Amino acid sequence: MGTTVAQLKPLAVVVVVLALLVAAARADYWNWNSGTATFYGGADGSGTMGGACGYDNLYNAGYGVLNAALSQVLFNDGASCGQCYAIKCDATKSVWCKPGNTVTVTATNLCPPNYALPNGGWCGPPRPHFDMSQPAWENIGIYRGGIIPVVYQRVRCSRQGGVRFRITGSQYFQLILITNVGGSGSIQSMSVKGTNTGWIGMTRNWGAQWQSNSALLKQALSFMVTSTGGQTLYVNNVVPAWWVLGMTFATNAQFDY
């Protein structure tokens, strides 16, 4: 006969509950969902640089050309920036598929709601849609198809090297762009600490840009970053006191989940 929760000791109950919560939080990593996909940005993907996540040059950010703009329902006001999705064409619904092929893309942009795409797609809610770079899309679809039905799932992001921090803003506030994020790929919360301060909570300004309303010039900076997977990294003194606006600082720290 199976063991019920009521029969377990208190510590075991805690373990069971935590395991259930973790499983629920990560359910989207294992389930395939239905959506549609189109492409943009040209054959070399150069037209996908920049975008609503703030990554600018996607090669410098660690993401490259295998990327996609998400429809609003997936973009989640920028909280999905950096997440990775495995996508394959649903060959049961279209003759324009390359059956058996799967491509993994990084979310780097927003496909605006109700935006009519030249090749026939649209990104309005509640439609799950990926406007992919052309090189990524052509892994799974035939060019003449334009728009294809797909199935997709969240997957773990694999990155080369550690996370990177780029500082912009002004003397009185800082915008921190965090890039090359592995594991869950996206950030849940972030704090900064200067040489002369304690930890200061930051807020998401837009996309992957996090804001601090503090005067931190001429102070070395440390960051406490928690991924949407629930892992927290403490990156101490990664920014030296001589930093200026516009600089990017690489680290050896990386997320596993």
pTM of the complete model: 0.86
Q: Any idea where the domains of the chain sit in the sequence?
A: 33-155, 163-251
pLDDT tens, residue by residue, 183-223:
999 999 999 999 999 999 999 999 999 999 999 999 999 99
Is the CB of residue 108 less than 8 Å from the CB of residue 74? no
Report the pLDDT value the prediction gives residue 124, as an integer from 0 to 100.
73
**Superfamily of chain region 33-155:** RlpA-like domain (2.40.40.10)
Least confident among 9-18, 67-76, 214-223: 9-18
**Superfamily of chain region 163-251:** Expansin, cellulose-binding-like domain (2.60.40.760)
What are phi and psi for residue 39, nearest 5 degrees? -140, 160
Q: Residue 72 is encoded by which pair of tokens? A: 């609003």
Q: Is the pLDDT of residue 163 over 80?
A: yes
- Dist CA 188 CA 198 (whole Å): 20
- Dist CA 121 CA 54 (whole Å): 24
Least confident among 24-33, 51-60, 81-90, 233-242: 24-33
- Dist CA 84 CA 101 (whole Å): 16
Non-local (6+) Cβ contacts of 100 within 8 A are 88
